[in-house]
């Protein structure tokens, strides 16, 4: 729900401000380009990556679901920085028993479903990490990156810092890292080549090949394990392609709900503590008005029912049916798998909204959700606020 918000802020709100108000001068001057001093390392070409990806483990290789008019153009590499970009963390999650040796910084919006997914994953593994809350308007906190969306995960590796992006890819890469102790992150990214292509709207877009796959080197995987992996992957895709699209039309259903939603974003994102008040006001009121207006368009694009709540309830029931069929506490069994964590993460992004309260009242997803929350909270480290 965040991506469209920014597009609107950038393309509609800013230009109109530019025409009408002096204030815009501040925006535009602070936004000026700075020289790029970051070294980028070419790590691997997609061709090599795909070959290794296919060979490694012998069977998993996710193909881009290429639509007819999609033209592959070229490949990109994950940015590598010899020095850490300057950043100001807002809080840390610290788990003293974390033995992964990962040093991670997550650049995020607290209530973006994709960021919530990544946090849910990190928490489910008891990993320590730092959080940088990005301001939605100027996005200065990620001005060092060519990748302009969140989440961005910065991982300390030998000799520098590796930038990872795409919530699904981040989860798959870290999961591969945790399962196979012989691999380093800089090796793992080779299994997830970035493909650049031009989408139906004629825009340059990137996708990450294999992003739903966990890599492993065993050549003979049991049939049962393979089935479980397939199932987990399908539900992760469902969360990205179906569930997530039911959220925006619901949380911005009416002008009142949109405003309430943005006020909740402001509260849990700690905007008032971190950003200037003019920016908070612009984000809350401008964001709510813009999103309320475009939520209808999103509804049409993603085939959401006229009664938008019904689409949300339907998605919840689809998920709960799958969990119940398992007869276990979670889809993954007695412990959550990546599908549980993904669905939980996505839903947690609307926890403070009326839509979520209605969802709990009208479906039985609360049973599973509360179990998930208990499970996550038992593993997550303690939060430590950092004062600027």
Ligand X SMILES: *[C@@H]1O[C@H](CO)[C@@H](O)[C@H](O)[C@H]1NC(C)=O
Catalytic residues: 109, 112, 114-115
Q: Is 148 in the site for ligand X (CB under 6 A)?
A: no
**Which range touches ligand X (CB under 6 A), out of 196-204, 220-228, 273-281, 311-319?**
196-204
Neighbours of 234 (CB within 10 A): 13
- Nearer to ligand X among residue 70 and residue 293 (C-beta): 70
Provide CB contacts within 8 A for 290, sequence distance 6+.
5, 8, 9, 12, 13
Q: Which residue is nearest to ligand X (CB)?
A: 126
Q: Please, which of residues 206-245 interact with ligand X by CB under 6 A?
A: 217
Which lies closer to ligand X via its Cβ, residue 144 or residue 369? 144
C-alpha torsion 235→241→244→245, nearest 10: -150
Asked if residue 382 binds ligand X (CB under 6 A), the reply is yes
The residue among 71 and 300 lying less far from ligand X, judged by its C-beta, is 71
Residue 53 interacts with ligand X (CB under 6 A): yes or no: no
Q: Does 71 bind ligand X (CB under 6 A)?
A: no
User: Where do we find the tokens 């597009």?
Assistant: 7
Residue 140 binds ligand X (CB under 6 A): yes
For residues 192 and 210, the answer to whether their CB atoms sit within 8 Å is yes
Write down the residue that tokens 């033209």 correspond to.
71
By CB under 6 A, how many residues form the interface with ligand X? Answer: 19
Instruction: Give the one residue of 66, 184, 204, 230 binding ligand X; rule: CB under 6 A.
Output: 204
Stretch in the footprint of ligand X (CB under 6 A) among 198-206, 293-301, 303-311, 344-352: 198-206
Q: How far is the CB of 206 from ligand X (least distance, A)?
A: 10
Residues 86-105 that bind ligand X (CB under 6 A): 95-98
**Position 126 contacts ligand X (CB under 6 A):** yes
The Cα-based distances of 62 to 86, 152, 161, 224 in angstroms read 35, 22, 27, 20
CB of 286 to ligand X, least distance (A): 21
57 near ligand X, judged by CB under 6 A: no
Tokens 């207006």: give the residue. Answer: 293
The residues of the shown chain that bind ligand X, judged by CB under 6 A, are 34, 95-98, 126, 140, 143-144, 180, 182, 202-204, 217, 378-379, 381-382
């Amino acid at each position: 729900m965040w991506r469209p918000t920014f597009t609107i802020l950038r393309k509609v709100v800013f230009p109109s401000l530019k025409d009408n108000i002096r204030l815009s001068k501040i925006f535009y001057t602070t936004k000026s380009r700075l020289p790029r001093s970051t070294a980028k390392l070419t790590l691997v070409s997609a061709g090599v990556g795909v070959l290794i990806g296919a060979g490694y483990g012998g069977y998993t290789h996710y193909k881009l679901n290429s639509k007819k008019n999609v033209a592959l153009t070229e490949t990109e590499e994950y940015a590598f920085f010899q020095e850490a970009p300057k950043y100001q963390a807002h809080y840390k999650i610290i788990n003293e028993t974390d033995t992964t040796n990962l040093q991670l910084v997550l650049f995020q919006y607290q209530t973006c479903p994709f960021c919530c997914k990544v946090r849910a994953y990190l928490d489910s593994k008891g990993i320590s990490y730092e959080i940088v809350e990005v301001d939605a308007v100027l996005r200065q906190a990620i001005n060092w990156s060519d990748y302009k969306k969140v989440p961005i995960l910065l991982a300390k590796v030998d000799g520098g810092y590796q930038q990872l992006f795409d919530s699904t890819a981040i989860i798959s890469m870290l999961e591969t890292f945790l399962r196979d102790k012989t691999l380093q992150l800089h090796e793992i990214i080779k299994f997830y080549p970035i493909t650049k292509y031009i989408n139906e709207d004629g825009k340059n877009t990137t996708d990450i090949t294999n992003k739903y796959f966990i890599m492993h080197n065993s050549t003979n995987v049991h049939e049962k394990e393979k089935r479980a992996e397939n199932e987990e992957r399908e539900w992760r895709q469902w969360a990205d392609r179906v569930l997530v699209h039911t959220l925006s039309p619901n949380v911005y259903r009416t002008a009142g709900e949109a405003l309430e939603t943005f006020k909740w974003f402001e509260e849990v994102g700690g905007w008032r503590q971190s950003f200037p008040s003019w920016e908070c006001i612009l984000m809350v009121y401008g964001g709510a008005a813009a999103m309320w207006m475009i939520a209808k368009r999103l509804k049409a694009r993603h085939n959401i029912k006229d009664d938008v709540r019904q689409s949300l309830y339907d998605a919840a029931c689809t998920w709960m049916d799958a969990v119940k069929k398992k007869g276990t506490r979670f889809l993954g069994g007695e412990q959550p798998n990546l599908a549980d964590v993904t669905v939980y993460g996505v839903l947690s992004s609307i926890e403070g909204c009326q839509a979520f309260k209605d969802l709990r009242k009208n479906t039985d997803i609360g049973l599973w959700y509360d179990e998930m929350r208990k499970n996550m909270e038992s593993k997550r480290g303690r939060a430590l606020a950092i004062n600027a």
